[in-house]
């Protein structure tokens, strides 16, 4: 019979293939409230505003093999596409990056109001979290877009609360609320790539065209 090994299961019939053991998801599958549906409607009435960074999102997501829809959903949840957004703790711009974090990733902290620099830093940080999750849960060889739902939720939680959130099984209410918010945006039409130009870029880069199973 299979035996547990450090949070994974060895399946002899598969040639000692390492299969990650299922862990607790951060939140149940969320359903949008009236307030969220209203927010979706307001944003979708401004496609020229919410789609203006699509080229940057696709380019930087492709660099790290990230799902561009997830990146766009994080931008929607963090700043609702405002480059001027700033948190009380000092996180800045579209993806709400702390200047110190940006500096560690090779992006000047004083450039985070610029869309390109901000998305570059945000996607690089997201890639750091993906790599940490892949190491933690022994997912080597699994494409990011094939990540189990609970892994993606933990990565989103870590984007909000720090890398330690990857290993937790209990999260603060603020973090659970954040994960729910990102997932709701992800499952809406807000992070779609609508223009022909960005659609062509997405196809050329062989990026997923719609939501992958991990966020359902």
Residues taking part in catalysis: 78
Burial of 100 (0-12, 13-18, 19+ CB in 10 A): exposed
CB atoms within 10 A of CB 37: 12
Q: Are strands 17-20 and 8-11 parallel, antiparallel or unpaired?
A: antiparallel
Burial of 132 (0-12, 13-18, 19+ CB in 10 A): middle
What 3-state DSSP class applies to 9?
A: strand
User: Residues 158, 192: contact at Cβ < 8 Å?
Assistant: no
List residues bridging with 179 in a β-sheet.
none
């Amino acid at each position: 019979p299979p035996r547990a090994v450090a949070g994974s299961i060895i399946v002899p019939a598969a040639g000692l293939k390492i299969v990650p053991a299922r862990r607790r998801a951060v939140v149940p599958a969320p359903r949008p409230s009236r307030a969220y549906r209203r927010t979706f409607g307001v944003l979708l009435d401004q496609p020229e505003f919410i789609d203006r960074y699509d080229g940057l999102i696709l380019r930087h997501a492709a660099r790290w093999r990230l799902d561009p829809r997830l990146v766009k959903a994080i931008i929607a949840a963090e700043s609702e596409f405002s480059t001027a957004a700033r948190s009380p703790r000092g996180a800045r711009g579209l993806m709400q990056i702390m200047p110190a974090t940006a500096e560690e990733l090779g992006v000047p902290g004083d450039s985070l109001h610029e869309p390109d620099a901000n998305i570059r830093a945000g996607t690089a940080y997201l890639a750091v979290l993906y790599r940490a999750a892949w190491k933690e849960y022994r997912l080597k060889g699994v494409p990011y877009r094939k990540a189990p739902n609970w892994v993606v939720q933990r990565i989103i939680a870590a984007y909000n609360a720090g890398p330690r959130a990857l290993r937790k099984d209990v999260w603060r209410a603020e973090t659970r609320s954040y994960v729910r918010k990102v997932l709701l945006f992800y499952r809406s039409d807000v992070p779609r790539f609508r223009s022909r130009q960005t659609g062509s870029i997405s196809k050329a880069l062989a990026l997923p065209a719609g939501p992958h199973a991990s966020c359902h």
